[in-house]
Structure 1
Amino acid sequence: MTPEQLSAAIVEVLATLSAEGELTLPDGPPSAVTVERPRQREHGDYATNVALQLAKKAGTNPRALAQLVADRLGQHDGVAAVDIAGPGFLNITVAAAAQGEVAGQIVAAGAAYGSSELMAGERVNLEFVSANPTGPLHIGGVRWAAVGDALGRIFEAVGAAVTREYYFNDHGAQIDRFSRSLLHSVRGLEAPEDGYGGAYVHEIAQAVVARRPELVEKDDAAAQEILRSEGVEMMFDEIKRSLHDFGVDFDVYFHEDDLHKSGAVDRAIERLTELGNTYEQDGAVWLRTEQFGDDKDRVVVKSDGQGAYLSGDLAYYLDKRERGFDRCLIMLGADHHGYVARMMAMCAAFGDTPGTNLEILIGQMVNLLKDGEPLRMSKRAGTVVTIDDLVSAIGVDAARYALARYSSDSSIDLDLDLWAKAGSENPVYYVQYAHARVSSLLRNAADLGLAPADHPELLVHEKEGELLRALADFPGVVASAATLREPHRVARYLEDTAGAYHRFYDNCRVLPMGDEEPTDLHRARLVLVDATRTVLANGLGLLGVSAPERM
C-alpha cells in the first residue's frame, strides 16, 4: 500500500462517516490527506494528522475524531493496526500483504511509476541557462542546465506540458564587446580593456576569417559587423553543441533582437499604457512598478527614445503569455537576485499573478575543487571553468547528478576527485551501482530459469518492509520535487533507496543456493528486486542520468 493509496482510503473513511451522519464536514471531505512516515519506526508505517486538521471544522475534539477514523480505517483489508497518539495523531501499520503488493504494482506500472496528474493541463515555459553567446558555457550556467532539464522532466512526469526555452541575448552591450574582442584578435591587438580574453576568442576570430576572408580588408566598422554576425553564431553553435552533449536540448531558442525588430517592445508598452501603468516624466516613459511591490518605478523608454533594459523583459514576458503559457518559470543566477522584485512588479502590471504566472528561481554559485584546491580557470576560456572542463573531469552522468543533487538556493563545492571515483562514497556511482547490481541479479535468475512471481504475503522480513516502504514513497517524492521546484529531492531519495536495497540484499537471500529448490519466497523477492530496478531507473531518468545494467 502506497501513501497515496492510504490517503485515498482515509478520504473514503471520512466520506463514509460524513454520509452516515457520524461526522459533520461543512466543506465535505478533503480530496487528499497528508500521509507521512513517522520518525520512529515503532510508531508504525505511516502517520497522519488529519484529525487535528479537521476537528475544529467538524465541531469535535481531535482525539474523538481520530477515534472515529481509527475504528473504520482499522477494518480496511490493507491496514493491520491504527493507533492514536498524543493530541490526535494516527499511527498506521500496513498489513504485510498490502505492503508487499506495492512491488507488483510498480513492476506493472513500469516506466510510468512515479508519474501523476498533479500538473495536468498546465502549460509551462521553462527558461534556463540563457547564457550570453560571448564565450563557452561556464559552470554557473552548467548548474542551471542540469537543474533546469531535470525540473522539466519532473514537470512532465506530473502531467505538465513543458517548453524548454533559451533566451538568446543578441541585442546588448556584451555582444558589442565580444565583436570588438574578435576584431582586436583579427588585427593582432590585445583584447579591449572591457572585452573578452581566452584562446576561444582567437579560435572564433580565425574561423570567421576562414569563412569570410574579405573582412580582413574592410574598415573596422564593416569588419566588426561581420565578426558580430558570424562570430556570435559560431559561439552559440558551440554552446548548443556542449549542451546537447550534456543531454540538454531546447524546444525554443528565442532571439532578443527579434523583440526589438518585430515591434513587440512597443506593443508591450502600449498594453501597459492601456492598463494605466505607465507615465511620462523627464522625456522618458516609466512603468509604475513601485505600486506593485518594487522599491521604485522603472524607466522602460529612455529620454533618447531607446528602450531601457527592462523593455525587452516586458515584451518577452508578454510574448510568452500570448503563446499560451500558464506559467513562465525563469532560472537566474545569484547576481540577478535584485532583479526579482521588478520582474514580479512587471507581471502584476500586466494584470497577472506573481508567483503563479511568473516564477523566478535563483541559483547560487558552484565552486570546483581539485586536489583540495579551488579550480578557477579554464585553459581555453581563460577566466572561468566551462561545461567541457567539467565533463572532461568527471563525465556527463556525474556532472548532471552532482549539480542537481543540491538545493539550488545554496552554493556548492564539488570535489572533482570524489565525483570521479568508482566507489560508494561517490553518490552517483552508489545509485548506479545499485541499479547494475539489481540488473545482474535478475539476469542470473533468468539464467537459472527462475521467474518473478507475485506472493506479496511472503514479504514479511524487516528489510523487505523497509525497501517496500522506500519504493512506495517514490510518487510522493516526485510530486514534492515538482511542487517545490527541487530536483535534488529525487537524488537524495535515490541514495536512500539504494541503501535500503543493499541492506535488503545483505539480509534476504534472493536466489537459491546450490541444489536448493526455488521457492515462492525466492520468486516474490525477485518481484521486489524488479520493482527496485524500475524505481532506480525512473528516478535516474528524471535527473537525465543513465541507469547502467553493468558496471
Structure 2
Amino acid sequence: MTPAALAELVRTTAVDVLAARGLDTSVLPEAVTVERPRNPEHGDYATNVAMQVAKKAGVPPRELAGWLAEALTDNASIAEVDVAGPGFLNLRLAADAQGQIVRDVLGGADAYGQADLYRGLKVNLEFVSANPTGPMHLGGTRWAAVGDALGRVLAAQGAEVTREYYFNDAGAQIDRFVRSLLAAARGEPAPEDGYGGSYVADIAAAVLDAEPGALELPEGERHEAFRRIGVGLMFDEIKRSMHDFGTDFDVYFHEDSLHTSGAVTESVEQLKTSGHVYFADGAWWLRSTEFGDDKDRVLIKSDGAPAYIAGDVAYLRDKRHRGFDLCVYMLGADHHGYIARLKAAAAAFGDDPSVVEVLIGQLVNLVKDGKPVRMSKRAGTVVTMEDLVEAVGVDAARYSLIRSSVDSALDVDLDLISKRSNDNPVFYVQYAHARLSSLQRNAASLGIDRGPVAEADLALLTHDREGDLIRTLGEYPRVVRSAAELREPHRIARYLEDVASAYHKFYDACRVLQPGDDQATALTTARLHLCEAARQVLANGLGLLGVSAPEQM
C-alpha cells in the first residue's frame, strides 16, 4: 500500500467513523496527510488527522483518534494502530499490504512515479539563454542541468513542456563581441569593453575562413559579416556543448525577430490602453511597482527608442499568443527585478500574473584542493561548461549542479565529485543501481527465475531493513509530485541518495542469493523482486535528472 493509498484509506475510514456517530464529515480535508515518522519505532506511518478535525467535529482529539484506530485495525491492510500524545495515529502496515508497493513499482516500470497533476497544461520553460558572446559559463551550466531536469519532472506530471532558449542577438553585448572579433582578426588587442580569451581569436579565424575577404569589405558590411558569421559560430558551439551535456531545446527564439517583425511596437501600443502604462517625462512607463518592483520601468525612452524591457514584454506576449498557459523563466542571480516586471507585463495584457513564474538561481563556484578555481584555459576569465565536463564527466557535473536548491550559492568540490567512492553522491547512487543490476545477472546465471511478481509471496518481506526499503520506494511518486509543484528537482537527487542508503543497509542485513548449491526459496524470489523494484526506482529517478543509470561500474 502506497502512502497515497493509505492516506485515502484513512480519509474514507474517518468519513465512516464520523458519519456513524452523526458528526459532520465536511470537516475532513480533501487529502489526509500521512507521513513516515522520524523514529521508525513509532510505526510505518503517522497521521494527525484526528487532531486536525476534532475541534470542528466537536469531540476530543484522543477520543476521535481512538475511534479511528479501532476502525482502521479492522482493515486487513493494517497490522496495528496506536494512539500517541494528544491524538496522533501511528500505523503499521500488514506485510502483504506493504508488499503491494513492490508490485506497484514493477507494474508501473518506467512510468512508476508519473501522474496527471499537470495534464493539459502547456508550459514554456525558458532557461540558460546566455548571451552568444562566449563559451557557456558555470551559471548557465547550472541552469542547463536544473532546467532540463525540471522539464523532465513537469512532463512526468503530465505537462506539455516546451524548452526554449532566448537567443540574445540584439543589443550592445553583440556589438562588443563583434568589435572583439574584428580586433582579433586584425591581430589587435581586444577593446577595453570587449571579450578576451583564446576562443575570440579562434572564431575570428573561422570567420575569415568562411569569408576570406571580410576585412576588406566596407565598414558596415565588414561589421555585418563578422556579426552574422561570428555570432552564428558562437551559438552553434553553445548548442553543441549543450547537446553534449544532455540538454536540448525545442525552440531557439531570436530576440532580434521581436524588433524586425514589429512585435515590440505592437506590444507597447497594446499596453498603452491597459491602464498599467503611463506617459511621464516624455517616456512611457510600466507600473511595475504595483507588483513589488522598487520603481516603475521605462518602456519607451524619451527619444522614442524602446528600452530593453520592451523586448521582454513583447516576448511574453508572443509566448501567450503561442498558447502557453504557464511561462517559466529561469534567470541568474542579478535578475530579481524581472519578477515584478514580467508579472506587471502579464497583468497589463489582461492575464493573471500567475501565468509568469521566475526562478532565480545563485552563483556556482568550483573548488579544488580547498581553493577556488577561477581561470579557464580557453575563456580566460571564467570557468566554462566544457572545463567542468572535462574534469569530472557529464553525469557528475549534472548531478552535482542539480542536487542543491538553486536558491543558494553552490560550491562544487572537484576533488569530491571525481572520486569513485561512496563519499561522492552521484557515484553512491549510480553504484547502487549497478550493484542491483549485477544482482539480477547473478541470479540469472544461477538459473533463478523470480517469476511474475503477482505470484510472489511478498508477505515474507518482514525484516526491518526490508520494510524500510519498501516504504522508501513508496515515497517516490510523492517526491516527484513535490519536485514538480515546488519547481525543485534537487528533491529527487536527495531522495535517490536515501534509496541507495536504504538499499545498501538492506543488502548488508538480508542475504538475497543463497550460498553454494542451496536452492532458492520463496524468500529469495521475494527479495529479488524487491531488489528489482529498487533498481527501477533508481533508474526512473536518474532519468528525470538526465543522469545515466549504469549496469556496471
What TM-score, normalized to structure 2?
0.96
8 Å Cα contact 1:113/1:475 also seen in 2: yes
Give the Cα separation in 1 of the matches to 2:506 and 2:291.
55
Give the Cα separation in 2 of the matches to 1:15 and 1:310.
54
1:479 alignment partner, one of 478, 481, 485: 481
Give the Cα separation in 2 of the matches to 1:127 and 1:112.
26
**1:380 corresponds to:** 378
**1:179 corresponds to:** 178
How much does 1:321 deviate?
A: 1.4
Letter in 2 for 1:231: G
How much does 1:287 deviate?
A: 1.4
Letter in 1 for 2:511: R
Give the Cα separation in 2 of the matches to 1:328 and 1:443.
45
How much does 1:25 deviate?
A: 2.8
Give the Cα separation in 1 of the matches to 2:290 and 2:489.
34
What SS does the corresponding residue of 1:234 show, helix, strand or coil? helix
The 5 A counterparts of 1:110-125 are 110-125=109-124
**2:45 corresponds to:** 46
8 Å Cα contact 2:286/2:344 also seen in 1: no
Matched, 1:272 2:259: no
How much does 1:10 deviate?
A: 1.5
Deviation string for 1:259-290 (max 9, x for gaps)?
11112112222222222221212221111222
Deviation string for 1:29-72 (max 9, x for gaps)?
54322211111111111111222322344333333332332222
2:501 alignment partner, one of 493, 499, 505: 499
Deviation string for 1:135-170 (max 9, x for gaps)?
000011000001011111111111111111101111
Say what the alpha-carbon RMSD is for the aligned residues: 1.5
Give the Cα separation in 2 of the matches to 1:271 and 1:74.
64
What SS does the corresponding residue of 1:469 show, helix, strand or coil? helix
Distance 1:59 1:120, change over 3 A: farther
How much does 1:21 deviate?
A: 5.5
Give the Cα separation in 1 of the matches to 2:348 and 2:33.
36
8 Å Cα contact 2:2/2:100 also seen in 1: no
Q: Which moved more, 1:68-77 or 1:513-522?
A: 68-77
**1:230 corresponds to:** 229
**2:26 corresponds to:** 26
Gapped regions of structure 2 (runs ≥ 5): none
Deviation string for 1:167-197 (max 9, x for gaps)?
1111111011001111111122110100001
Distance 1:327 1:56, change over 3 A: farther
How much does 1:501 deviate?
A: 0.6
Give the number of aligned pairs: 549
Give the Cα separation in 1 of the matches to 2:125 and 2:17.
44
What SS does the corresponding residue of 1:195 show, helix, strand or coil? coil
Runs of 4+ in 1 over 4 A off after TM superposition: 18-21
Give the Cα separation in 2 of the matches to 1:477 and 1:366.
25
Q: Which moved more, 1:268-277 or 1:489-498?
A: 268-277
How much does 1:20 deviate?
A: 4.3
Give the Cα separation in 2 of the matches to 1:38 and 1:299.
53
8 Å Cα contact 2:19/2:25 also seen in 1: no
Give the Cα separation in 1 of the matches to 2:124 and 2:18.
42
Letter in 2 for 1:446: A
How much does 1:19 deviate?
A: 5.0
Give the Cα separation in 1 of the matches to 2:54 and 2:300.
56
Deviation string for 1:489-541 (max 9, x for gaps)?
11111111101111111111111111211110001000001101100100110
8 Å Cα contact 2:339/2:357 also seen in 1: no
Distance 1:458 1:375, change over 3 A: same
What TM-score, normalized to structure 1?
0.97
Distance 1:89 1:253, change over 3 A: same
Letter in 2 for 1:371: D
Gapped regions of structure 1 (runs ≥ 5): none
**1:330 corresponds to:** 329
How much does 1:410 deviate?
A: 0.8
**1:65 corresponds to:** 64
**2:36 corresponds to:** 37
**1:14 corresponds to:** 14
Give the Cα separation in 2 of the matches to 1:495 and 1:535.
12
What SS does the corresponding residue of 1:71 show, helix, strand or coil? helix
**1:438 corresponds to:** 436
**2:491 corresponds to:** 489
**1:537 corresponds to:** 539
